[in-house]
A = this chain, B = another copy of it.
Amino acid sequence: MIKPSQFVTTALLGATLALAGCAAPALRGTGDLGVVIERASGTVQIVDTTQLKSIATVPGLGDLSHASLVYSRDGRYAYVFGRDGGLSKVDLLKGVVERRIIQAGNSIGGAVSQDGSLIAAQNYAPGGVKVFKADTLELLADVPAEFGTQGQRSKVVGLADAPGNCFVWSLFDAGEIWVGDFSNPGAPRIDKYRNAGREPYDGMITPDGRYYLAGLFGEDGMAMLDMWHPEKGVRRILDGYGKGQEKLPVYKMPHLRGWAVAGKYAYVPAIGHHEVLVVDTETWKEAGRIAVAGQPVFVMARPDGRQIWVNFAFPDNGSVQVIDVETRSVVKRLEPGRAVLHMEFTPRGESVWISARDDNRVVVYDTVSFAQRVVLPAAAPSGIFFTTRAGRTGF
């Protein structure tokens, strides 16, 4: 096996030279491109999922710890949200940062509107949501997450895109869920759902854009809002799913945007437990539990819904397990490297790309044979994001 750490410097240098020496970037489709976050160096790699290689490294993106990104409608630009409040528009074809602003003091991610015209950032400090014009990053709307009578501001988490140029998000400190309709971005309509549950720590929307779910850190359950029937208000689901079991320390909060929906079931990380919960999306009741090797972080369905892939918090973060949906059993355990942080399936699911931060590598597997297809060097890689996300809701 290649020892990727030896190749990191060379690869970075090579990519930079390749770009510098090429006056006109190559004409190419963007449907098989992706971006790998290199958190320690403030760089991103642009990768080609057909050729299985890195085609450029782009520097100058600031603090990329806990970074995420969304794509422009055409798949050419990645909007990278950095922890330092930076919002960078990266041109995948030219391999450069086209535009960059610092829009907050502490930010944890964002979303792109259904029609691609709006980019929304969710901010811890100052707590709130800002909405930008996708083309220019011009600020169009600023929605402070104020609550209570003293004008306190809450950290915002769990921002998701919903049909109709709406965004949905949760207020960690206030225990509220807000829905913003930005059809007229200069005068957004904000609907606030109070008493949604204590300490929502992340959220997601189902792939059809119908159900918004927030995980609750302060309670043993989850909050759910039916976007087709917001008048019904927020409903509590999975109440007491950890009841009667010993509370475990939580080493890393699960990421909810990765929650898997396959067929009529959702597969949800059970916070603190070594379990994946199976939830019936018709009744929103628990339908089963699957024992896994550690505290789940990402629980993701292969695009055909036949497998669920799970990675874990420390100390089990060197492993990935694969669950067969039909039998609800673990059928494979892989060891991609130390500190597995993220997984991303190719658009139609024949492969999965997995980042192993502490081994400075990205490992690509065949999802049927589980054979290793390639190992790519990367500097402390975290999130991996493919351009197909541009055409999907909730990514």
Contact B347 A391 (CB under 8 A): yes
* A1 within 8 A of partner (CB): no
A368 beta carbon closer than 8 Å to chain B: yes
Interface size for A (C-beta < 8 A) is 51
**A163 near B115: Cβ-Cβ < 8 Å:** no
Are B74 and A306 neighbours in the complex by a CB distance under 8 Å? no
Q: Flag whether A233 is at the interface (Cβ < 8 A).
A: no
B228 adjacent to A306 (CB under 8 Å):
yes
Is A338 in contact with chain B by the CB < 8 A criterion? no
Chain B residue contacts of A349, Cβ below 8 A: 114, 163
- Residue A116 at the B interface, CB < 8 A? yes
Question: Please, which residues of chain B bring their CB within 8 A of the CB of A393?
Answer: 303-304, 348
A305 at the B interface (CB under 8 A): yes
Give the CA-CA distance A392 to B346 in the complex, in Å.
Answer: 11
Residues of A24-48 at the interface with B, using a CB-CB cut-off of 8 Å, are: 24-25, 27-33
Which residues on B sit within 8 Å (CB–CB) of A262? 208
Sample of 18 A–B contacts (CB below 8 Å): A24-B27, A29-B30, A29-B74, A31-B31, A31-B73, A31-B387, A32-B74, A32-B116, A50-B73, A50-B116, A75-B75, A114-B348, A163-B348, A163-B368, A208-B262, A208-B263, A210-B305, A347-B391
> Which A residues lie at the B interface, using CB under 8 A?
24-25, 27-33, 49-50, 71-77, 92-94, 114-116, 163-165, 208-210, 228, 262-264, 282, 303-306, 326, 347-350, 368, 387-388, 390-393
